Amino acid sequence: MNRVRAAAPQLAGLVPYDPKYLPAEAFLSANENPRDVDGELRELIGRRIAKVPLNRYPDPLAGGLRDMIAEANGLDRDHVLIGNGGDELLFNLALAWGGPGRTCLNFPPTFSVYAANARLTNTAVVDIARTEDFSIDEEAAFERLAAGDIDYVIVASPNNPTGLRCPQAFIERLLDATDALVMVDEAYFEFSRQTARPLLATHENLVILRTFSKAFSLAGVRLGYILANP
Ligand SMILES: *Cc1c(COP(=O)(O)O)cnc(C)c1O
């Protein structure tokens, strides 16, 4: 057949994301670290890669790496999930907690990937606009959550693109106010040093997203992880 039926309707008109990078030293829109990893580390990585059996599938659950990340965070392996960049984990979240008939709560302006993933997975998005100083309109959020139909919430802290941290008290109140899955996107945790991690012990609905792309200068590796209840 020399024609093909249309893809899923929510994809109609979707344009591939092309950042159109121009020659420059720093790409502020990508938020990469402008400095590459140093020579010694680069050599170490090269030596380890030289020993990888390229004919074999890797461990799909990345057990060894999960152990190391778990240990660094005072958790066990089954609290850690690895992704091909944080972006893959964000997409998986939308696949697993979103979908037709399901709804996510979003606080724009924030990372545009959240809304894009909702669209790709046919998840309804409820936007609660930030206030004039870009903080979250907390009372509006709780009022909307009280309706009980929100399936997941994503809070970036520090937020991209505003740089603001989200108050810990709000995150804790949010986790207590709903059984929706609450993802705290800590892509910039290494800069803020503020984490929701202690709340994992008491809140089964908390998921924390981290990445090696920003502070660790490893955007080229495409490695992100989540910390969460198993
Ligand atoms: C960069 C970023 C991520 C994830 O990036 P990856 O390179 O896919 O790991 C997630 N959230 C925010 C807010 C970011 O800025």
Q: pTM of the predicted model, to two decimals?
A: 0.95
Q: How far apart are CA 37 and CA 33, in angstroms?
A: 9
What is the domain range of residue 164?
61-228
Ligand 1, pocket-test mutation among 81, 160, 162, most atoms within 8 A of CB: 160
Q: Is the pLDDT of residue 210 over 90?
A: yes
Nearest residue (by CA) to ligand 1, atom 5, is 86
pLDDT of 29 > 90? The answer is no
Alpha carbon of 202 to ligand 1 centroid (Å): 26
Q: Which residue's CA is the nearest one to ligand 1's atom 1?
A: 187
179 assigned to some structural domain = yes
Residue 161 maps to a domain: yes
Domain assignment present for residue 31? The answer is no
**Look-up of token digits 């994809």:** 11
In a domain, residue 38? The reply is no
Q: Band of the pLDDT at 158, cuts 50, 70, 90? A: very high
Distance 168 CA to ligand 1 centre (A): 20
Q: Ligand 1 centre from 211 Cα, in Å?
A: 6
Residue 26: pLDDT band by 50, 70, 90 thresholds? confident
Query: What's the 2 CA to ligand 1 centre distance in angstroms?
Result: 39
- Residue of 81, 84, 87, 222 to mutate, ligand 1, most atoms within 8 A of C-beta: 87
CATH of the domain at 109: 3.40.640.10
Q: Specify the pairing of strand 223-228 against strand 80-84.
A: antiparallel
**Mutate which of 106, 111, 192 for ligand 1 pocket (most atoms within 8 A of beta carbon):** 111
Predicted local distance difference test score (pLDDT) of residue 37: 95
| Domains identified in the chain, total number | 1
Tell me, yes or no, whether 5 lies in a domain: no
68 belongs to a structural domain: yes
pLDDT band at 24 (very low <50, low <70, confident <90, very high): confident
Ligand 1 — pocket residues by CB below 6 A? 31, 85-87, 111, 156, 160, 185, 187, 211, 213-214, 219, 224
Instruction: Provide the residue type at 157 as one letter.
Output: S
Ligand 1 atom with least separation from CA of 84: 8
Could you tell me if 211 and 111 are in contact, meaning their C-beta atoms sit under 8 angstroms apart?
Answer: no
Query: Angle at CA 52, nearest 5°, toward 51 and 53?
Result: 110
In a domain, 44, yes or no: no
Question: What would the two tokens of residue 48 be?
Answer: 């380890």
Residue 122 backbone zone (phi > 0: left; psi -120 to 50: alpha; other: beta): left
Q: How many CB atoms lie within 10 A of CB 228?
A: 21
Q: Please determine, for residue 10, whether its predicted confidence score (pLDDT) is greater than 90.
A: no
For residue 73, being part of any structural domain is answered with yes
pLDDT attached to residue 196: 98
The DSSP letter of residue 130 is: -
